[in-house]
Amino acid sequence: MSCDPAFEAARGALELLSTLKPPRLIGFGTGHTVGFFMDLARGYSGSWLVVASSIDTAVRASRLGFNVLYPPRGPLDVYVDGIDEVDPSGNMVKGGGGALLGEKILAFNSGVNIFIASEDKLVDVLGSRRPIPVEVVRDYAPLILGALESLGFKVSPREGSGKRGPVVSDWGGVIVDVHVNGVRDPEALETTLRSIPGVVETGLFIGYADYIVVGFRKCGYKVLRFERRRSRR
């Protein structure tokens, strides 16, 4: 028997949530895996207030019957989101959907963070399979890309579908992908990237996880517990 590991992770996250203090204000991330979670959680649409990490998530949550709170207020009780990559220490790469700024704001302002991932997102070293998404100030994007390249990085503006040119986030920044060929020291890389004026945010999520739920093709899931270090509290 084979299962969709993303669905298994979402199912596990909902079961984990049932063991915690019932949330009133919950944040939803952006992407395929968290979409499964939202579908499974429709039965709570009458009791949860939702803060969305992107326009796409806000629309989807509204269509599922959730009451989306805008403008957002907090702090959140719980935040649930997917992962692009995660290493054994719980450090993550996110932002494949271009919503990394909103996602990191919600994760920082949440009491409990639950991240969900299919087993193929587990890596020994971040950046070994995927680039690191970075949001930069739109009007100065050429200068900022040049500064990143001067540090030895290969940088490419992310191209979208439906329009020509780079992907522009919900907050007006340009999304670029920084190719690093493996990150041995994620915190040092985060410091380096953020040192360049005009870098708004990075897709490195270091110390944000309370729980990571991993789903497997052979069905089932595993809950990993981490010591969170990034929070407003």
List Cα–Cα distances, 47 to 52, 54, 63, 72, 150, in angstroms: 16, 21, 16, 17, 51
d(CA 171, CA 166): 14
d(CA 214, CA 149): 35
Look up 190 and say whether it is catalytic.
no
- Catalytic residue among 103, 135, 190, 201, which? 103
d(CA 117, CA 84): 8
d(CA 223, CA 233): 23
List Cα–Cα distances, 116 to 87, 113, 126, in angstroms: 13, 10, 16
**For strand 174-179 and strand 132-136, is the pairing parallel, antiparallel, or unpaired?**
antiparallel
Residues annotated as catalytic are 103
